[in-house]
Amino acid sequence: MLLSKVLGVIIIARNGDRYNFYQEPFSYAASNTETTALGVAESFQLGSLLRSTYLDSSSPSYIQGIRSDLVDNSEIKARVKAGVEGTVVFDSAIALLQGLFPPNPNNKIKLANETTVVAPLGGYQYVPVETVEPGNDRSLESWTNCPNFEKHIKEFYNSQAFKDKAKDAQPFFKAVRDYVFGRPTTLENAFNLYDYINTELIHNKTYAHRLPPTLIEQARYFANYHEDGVFSDKEINGIGNIAGRTLLHTILTSLERIAFNGDPLQFLLVQTTYQPFISFLHQTGVTDEHPEYKGIPNYSSAIAIELRRGSPPDVRDFLRIKFKNGTADHFRDVHVFGHHADIPLTEFIYRAENAAITSNRQWKEACGISSSTEGIFSLPVPANSKTAFTSAFAFVGLLALFLAARLVQRSRAREARLRLPGDENFRVEVPVVEKRRLI
């Protein structure tokens, strides 16, 4: 499909560099962290590369018909994970979009009094982003507060393979103990050990000069083993792949929009953390042929899913998928589901759609959460007499407010009522503007 035309692309991007970060090994509850100047520079660099690849008309991967000088917000959509590492992910998204659509002096307006006003910073372009809060949309952070996923983690830790790997890691744990300052040196804590060492190696000159050779490589090896085991599963729809299963819904619905000529969407950015990368590459079989991609992708890694239309006589839509592992690498073609070339869009949808989690209700079912907990997702509260009394008091107050609201509502005209049918789902509808696409 070398002569195919790019109709649109979905970019799944990891955040850039940040400061030290802690994840609880069993629940993946996490600490706060902050982005760094290096992190936003990495994301800006990725955005600039995406611009030269997909928005430059001289590029072989140029998206047909997309406006590249000034952003058309009907053609571009950005979804940003706002849960764990949320501020870092948001900063990375803004920096990437700055590289994708840099300031342009043509971003200006002429007023009625003949005055021309150019946007600040030499024509800075403001690209709207949709922040995805895990409190009401689990599509970009589906692995926290999920009982069945926590059960999957415990089963992984209790497996014979994990126990054998823990024994193999003992020499490393002994050697690294003096460089992690009291942090538990166990395989369950492998991610946190690596993250601390890696952060200090990047930002702490004294630490970097003291750290013995190979310790960072060993820490990365055991962290990759740990995270790859947690965020993968033997089956495409297994609970270990939940990070990829919720991402698949966004991918599939966006591909359908891009493929439809009446929909203006041509570029979707999903800015997220590393977990969905691991699951997606396992689900689609990429790691079967590229075992080097197992584990944690580097900062500012990206997966590009290109929707291409073939040339006659085969004018079907195909997908070409590429992976870029960090800033030091370039995009490389990776083939999914056993193909050794571009995969037809219809086949990709057929193979992936049954594994996709499409709504919060379906996420609860996968996680084994009772249907009685239909409200906002929140961390569990310890059960004791004081919290029980407080909860009961709050319930009575909320019930009274609810009844009062119902009385007010009934007094209003019936035409003022608004009812939203169906279950809540991940989709956020965007007005569709008719636009012709050159084919």
Closest CA to 265 of 132, 125, 430: 430
Q: What is the DSSP string of 254-303?
A: HHHHHHSTT----EEEEEE-SHHHHHHHHHTTHHHH-GGG-SPPPTT-EE
pLDDT attached to residue 377: 32
In this structure, are residues 280 and 244 in contact, taking their beta carbons and an 8 Å threshold?
yes
pLDDT band of 4, cuts 50, 70, 90: confident
pLDDT band at 393 (very low <50, low <70, confident <90, very high): very low
**40-87 pLDDT, tens digit each:** 999 999 999 999 999 999 999 999 999 999 999 999 999 999 999 989
pLDDT at position 328: 80
Mean pLDDT of 24-48: 97
Give the type of residue at 158. N
Residue 376 has pLDDT above 70, yes or no: no
12 closest CA partner among 342, 248, 259, 315: 248
What is the Cα–Cα distance from 229 to 225, expressed in whole angstroms?
Answer: 6
Q: What is the CA radius of gyration of the chain?
A: 24
Burial of 259 (0-12, 13-18, 19+ CB in 10 A): middle
The larger pLDDT score, comparing residue 416 to residue 159, is at 159
What are 96-123's pLDDT values in tens digits? Answer: 999 999 999 999 999 999 999 999 999 9
What confidence tier does 350 reach under pLDDT thresholds 50, 70, 90? very high
pLDDT surpasses 60 at 290: yes
pLDDT of residue 416: 36
DSSP 140-195: S--STT-HHHHHHHHHHHTSHHHHHHHHHTHHHHHHHGGGTTT---SGGGHHHHHH
CA pair distance 18, 340, nearest whole angstrom: 36
**Rounded-to-5 percentages of helix, strand, coil across the chain:** 45, 15, 45
Distance CA 307, CA 310 (A): 10
pLDDT in tens, 176-222: 999 999 999 999 999 999 999 999 999 999 999 999 999 999 999 99
pLDDT class for 419, splitting at 50, 70, 90?
very low
Q: What pLDDT is stored for residue 33 in this prediction? A: 95
Token pair recorded at residue 276: 């969905």
pLDDT at residue 397 in the model: 53
Candidates 228, 223, 242; CA nearest to 294 is 228
Q: In this predicted structure, what is the pLDDT of residue 232?
A: 98
b/e map 300-322, b = 16+ CB within 10 Å: bbbbbbbbbbbeeeeeebbbbbb
Three-state DSSP state, 323:
strand
Pairing of strands 267-272, 5-14: parallel
Q: 147: which 2 tokens?
A: 């009982």
Helix, strand, or coil (residue 322): strand
Which fold would CATH assign to domain 5-147+232-360? Rossmann fold (3.40.50)
Spell 183-198 as b/e; 16+ CB within 10 A means b.
Answer: eebebebbbbbbbbbb
Average pLDDT, rounded, for the chain: 87
- Beta strands 317-324 and 302-309 are antiparallel
Round to whole Å and give the CA distance between 425 and 181: 44
Q: What is the pLDDT of residue 403?
A: 53
Quote the CA–CA distance of 294 and 25 in Å, as a whole number.
19
Q: Which two tokens stand for residue 261?
A: 């000529």
**Nearest Cα to Cα of residue 16 among 412, 217, 224, 297:** 297
At residue 312 the predicted structure's pLDDT band, cuts being 50, 70 and 90, is confident
What's the pLDDT at 311?
82
Name the band, by pLDDT with cuts 50, 70 and 90, for residue 315: confident
Q: Quickly list DSSP for 78-106.
A: EEEE-STTHHHHHHHHHHHHHHHS---TT
The SS3 call for residue 18 is strand
Check the CA dihedral 41-44-50-55 and report its sign.
negative
- Asked whether 157 and 372 are in contact (CB, 8 A), the reply is no
